[in-house]
Every structure is written in C-alpha cells, then in structure tokens.
Structure 1
Amino acid sequence: MSARSSRNLESALPVVAIVGPTGSGKSELALQLAERFDGEAINADSMQFYRGMDIGTAKLPVAERRGIPHHLMDFLGVREDTTVATFQDLARTAIADIRSRGRLPILVGGSGLYVRAAIDVLEFPGTDADVRAKLEAELETVGLAPLAARLALVDPVSAARISDGKRVVRALEVYELTGRPFSSFMPERDYISPTVQIGLNGDRAELHGRLAARVHTMVERGLQQEVQDLIPEGLREGRTAQKALGYQQFLRVIDGESTVAQASEETIVATRQFARRQLTWFRADPRVQWLDWAQDDLATAAAALVTQAKASSGA
C-alpha cells in the first residue's frame, strides 16, 4: 500500500462513540470492540479526568484494561477544572493520533456535551474574566430579573431556554464579547468526520438494581477512604471534583453530617437521576443506534455496526 493510500485509509477510519447511562456496560463493550478492531479508547466521562478519583467514578483499573490504551484519564488534579472546549482539542488530538497509527478511535463515556464536542461540528465562544465578573456583580446586586430581561431583548431563544443566574450571565457574556446571541452557537447534529454512535440501554428496573449494587460495591471497596485521601489534595477546593456523585455525599460523612448508610442511599438516588438525564440527552440524538445491554450477542451486534460504518467511510 502506498503512503498516500495509507493516509487516506487512516483519515477514513470512523470514530466509534459508545454512549448511554452510567452502569450500562460501556467500558466492557469498548474493550471488546478495541480487541476486535485494533482500537484504542478515549475517555469521555468528565469525572474520570481526575487523578485519584477511581472508586467513586468506576474508573477501569489499568490491570483490567487488557492492554488497551486509554486516553484522557487522570490528567487533572482535584483542584483543577477544564472546559468542554479544552476537552474538544484534547479529544480531537487523540483521535488524530490514533488514526495516524491505523488504529480505531473508540470514544466511551456518558458526559453528553463532551461526546458531542469530540464528534460534532461545535464552536465554543470565548470568555473574558472582566466581563464575567462585571455581570456576576450585577447579578449579585440587582438580582436575576433585570439580566434575564436584557437577555430576552438580545437573545430571545436563549432566554426562553435558560433561567438560572449562571447560565444567563454566560449568555450575556457571549453576546457582549461576540455581538452574536448565545443561541447561534448551538450546533446542528453534524459529525466532523465519519462516526457511529452505539447507545446501550435496557430494562429500567435492572439498571436501578445495577446502580444500587455498584454504589454498595464502591462503599465496600473504600469510597470513604478515597474521599478522605483526596482532601489534602484539594478536593474541597475543587469546584467540579467535589460535586461528583458519591464524593459530595461522603464528604458529609467525614464532616459528621451524615452516616455511611445515608450517604450510600443518597448516592444511589442521585446516580439514578443522573442516569435518567443521560438517557434523555442521548435519546434526543436520532443518530444513536441503540442496543440492549442484556442481549446475548451484544458484542457481535456492536461489531456489525462498526463494520458497516467502516465500509461506509471507505476504511
């Protein structure tokens, strides 16, 4: 094969995105597809970005990754934050790198906006600390109503969709910086390159049982101690990490404000609610091809979708 033909093949390799609610088996399916198609995984679970947040995020241990490279895990400390725009750059760099070696990129995770940032034509407007601070000060001083009224004048679409102060401030910031309504940056469903999205779903009662069992297993494996160990690393100071499911609940246990049993139940309830939101997000995308996680031939059915996507892209 000529060098040019090799480059054409690499650029045609589709991105495989495995999506769906937490607890649906995405990580295992990613491993099976990576083994079958010589692939590498790219993490799209925003809480698995954090070093040391392993038990509570159900992060697949290195020893259980079966030698499959996993990208974009453990690159942040718990004090740090990132943005979807930054993730977009990192994910697309990883995709290009994997393709350049003739391997199949497999994006796996349930953080919906992060998945779309990686695979869709999606533009992120910039930010300005001074403009943001001014608007936040105004929100604090005069309240939400005047800012919401201003937003309704310049961006009625966004004003109809959002109601909390943080998002109103962001929409006004974007308008001040760009002269464009924030709603104009909302994307169409348009892949940036050949992609197949495989969604995992199944019986709701079974999912609830899975999630409850998983939380109890996390507690047994030492979730409280993991939270305790992350406090000196800055867990309490991190704006995002401390809000992760399980971590905020067990911080209250450590502070004497809750019991392990209460924290476990609160985490189960919060995880079920999160799974419901994930399903709502991914069901809104008609391009997702859904499979039942309980079907006997799951890996074979998913592999058929990947094979079809490769054929359609010319790979």
Structure 2
Amino acid sequence: MIKAIFIVGPTASGKTALSINIAKKFGGEIISADSMQLYRGIHIASAAPDAEEKCGIPHHLLEFLELDEEYSVADYVIKARRCITEINSRGKIPVIVGGTGLYISSLLDNTEFSEQKTDFLLREELEKRFDSIGGEKMLEELREFDPTSAARLHPNNRRRIIRAFEVYRISGKTITEQNELSHQNKGFIEPLVIGITYNDREKLYDRINRRVDIMLNNGLLEEARTTFADTNGKGAFQAIGHKELYGYFSGEKTLEEATELLKQQTRRYAKRQLTWFRRDDRINWLYADSCDDINENAFKLINEFLKEENR
C-alpha cells in the first residue's frame, strides 16, 4: 500500500500552510481535495495557493477545469488515485489537502467508482422528476430501496439525491451497498489523517471574516463580476465567494449586505465541514489555537507514521 498524508479541516483553518511545510520537510507533492480549487477563474474565491505560497512544491488537481464544467466525485477520485500512484512512483509522499469531505472520505474508504457510468438521458429524466415532485418526495422514494442514503441526505441536496437514483438504476446496487463492498476490499493507500481545528470556534470565525476582507481587497468583486453575466448554476458558478455577491451586482443588496452574507455563508460552510469530519475517528486532531506548535505536532505524527514501515 502507498503511504499518504491527508490534511483536512474547515475553511480558513490553516491547511494550506501546514501541507506545504509538511511537503517541504518530508519530500511530498500536494493533491488538492477542494471541489472549488479545481476551477480556473475563481482563484481568489477558492483561496487556491499562488506560486509564492506553493514554495516550489508540485501541486496537482488545481485550476484545470472551466467554470461551467461539472465534475463528479467519481471523476475526482479516479484522477486523484492516478496522482497518488504517480507521486509514489517518483519516490515522493502524496499529501492530500482540502475540506471537501466527500472527496476525502471516498479516497479513505476506497469507494469504487470505476463502473459507475453516466447516462445523460437518465440524469435528465431524474432532474425533471426532482424539479416536478421535489426533494421530500424523491427522498421518500429513495428510502424504499436505500434507507441509509435517504437518512443522510437533505431534501435540498438535489445533486446527491439524483446521483443515488442514478447509481441504483445503472448498476443495480445502492450507493450504500457499493460503499460496503469498498470497505471490504483492501485499500491501495495507508493513510495518516491530520485535522486542523480550533478549541474556540469564534477564533475560526474571526479568521473567516478577516479572510473575506482580504479577498475583497485582493479583487474578489472584479473576479465575481466576470462570472455574474454567465452564471448558469453549474460547475463553479455555485461557489461560495461569488454567488453571495451577485445580489450586489443586480442592485438587490448593498456591498455591506453582500459582504456580510458572504461571511455568514462561509462560517456556515465551515460548521458543516466540522460536522462532517468530526464523525471520522481516523482523524488526528490538532488545535491551531493551543499553546503547542501545530507544525511540530504534525511532524511528530508523520515521523511515527513513516517509521512504521521500517519496523
């Protein structure tokens, strides 16, 4: 199995800086696990690292999609696995960093996607049905053949509800059944998962608020304005950081109101990320607001992890 290091946690927690320090010290290459950093044209909103921040460390799965391209979890996992294998073949350590929980868990759980084809006619049929009867009714129907998935999904989560139906109609297996099969298979990676969070949630929220202010100073308004006229609800057009500003461009909100909405939505997103990651007992949590040095503690965990193969 390939040893891989995962750095996870909520937005604005310091994942990028830690991952680069780890890659520099242990000879790693970084793979993004952030669903919005895949896209070109939203560099500021997605907080993708720039050339200076990268410090010469190779980065993968960053800013390679057009804004209107849709990219599924299956697409991501297949490509990320390929990156992990290639990085390992160069004698480097894969460092996967991001806050998109489904990307992270699908890699950790060895979720099998290779046979899940996309039937665009079926998807269109399911999308029309969802729009016709609504999420609550679709969840009732999903509950009949996949109650586990139905219990996890929110009625407003259109994409995932449709995907659950799609997978079942194409493969004859529910997503739950496929995940169980994946768990039974030997994974191809041996992971060390490090999470960054804060004991004091308000400190994280303060960091989020400051980050939004910095983004605005760095040109977020101009970046968002370029997507405003073309928005179609697909791909990166749903990104937090742009859509909250559209009300300002249309005259429905003042800049102050749009900015506060962006801060509020980003804080809510961070809370959802923490809820997702907190249920995973594989994560070794480090607290950025503790007296301990977060880099030093991460390095200790990694040294022990890498020593294990030599015992």
Superposed pair shares fold, TM > 0.5: yes
CA distance in 1, matches of 2:233, 2:191: 34
Aligned pair in 2 of structure 1 residues 142, 97: CA closer, same or farther (>3 Å)? closer
How many residues end up aligned between the 2 structures? 302
Q: Residues 190-209 of structure 1 correspond to what in structure 2 (within 5 A)?
A: 191-202=187-198, 203-209=200-206
How far 1:154 sits from its partner (Å)?
2.6
Q: Aligned match of 2:92 in 78, 89, 103? A: 103
**Partner residue, 1:250:** 245
Q: Greater CA deviation, 292-301 or 163-172?
A: 163-172
CA distance in 2, matches of 1:153, 1:197: 35
- The one-letter code of the counterpart of 1:214 is R
CA distance in 1, matches of 2:143, 2:232: 35
SS, match of residue 29 in structure 2: strand
Aligned pair in 2 of structure 1 residues 147, 20: CA closer, same or farther (>3 Å)? closer
Q: Aligned match of 1:31 in 7, 20, 37? A: 20
Q: Greater CA deviation, 92-101 or 282-291?
A: 92-101
Measured against aligned partners, the alpha-carbon deviations of 1:41-98 in whole angstroms (never above 9, x if no partner) come to 1111111111121111222111221111111101011111211111111111111111
Measured against aligned partners, the alpha-carbon deviations of 1:224-259 in whole angstroms (never above 9, x if no partner) come to 011123457x4x135131221120011222222222
**Partner residue, 1:22:** 11
Q: Aligned match of 1:152 in 143, 146, 149? A: 143
CA distance in 1, matches of 2:6, 2:136: 40
Measured against aligned partners, the alpha-carbon deviations of 1:95-140 in whole angstroms (never above 9, x if no partner) come to 1111111111111110011112233310233332222333333444
Q: Aligned match of 2:269 in 262, 269, 274? A: 274
Supply the RMSD in Å over aligned alpha carbons: 2.3
- The one-letter code of the counterpart of 2:280 is D
CA distance in 1, matches of 2:179, 2:275: 18
Aligned pair in 2 of structure 1 residues 184, 225: CA closer, same or farther (>3 Å)? same
Measured against aligned partners, the alpha-carbon deviations of 1:191-247 in whole angstroms (never above 9, x if no partner) come to 531110000011211111111111111111111011123457x4x135131221120
Q: Residues 167-186 of structure 1 correspond to what in structure 2 (within 5 A)?
A: 167-186=160-179
- 5+ residue gaps, structure 2, are none
Aligned pair in 2 of structure 1 residues 314, 255: CA closer, same or farther (>3 Å)? farther
Aligned pair in 2 of structure 1 residues 35, 263: CA closer, same or farther (>3 Å)? same
CA distance in 2, matches of 1:66, 1:163: 40
Greater Cα radius of gyration, structure 1 or 2: 1
Contact 1:112 1:278 in 2 (8 A): yes
Contact 1:81 1:238 in 2 (8 A): no
- 5+ residue gaps, structure 1, are 1-10
- The one-letter code of the counterpart of 1:79 is D
SS, match of residue 197 in structure 1: strand
Answer yes or no: is 1:70 the counterpart of 2:59.
yes
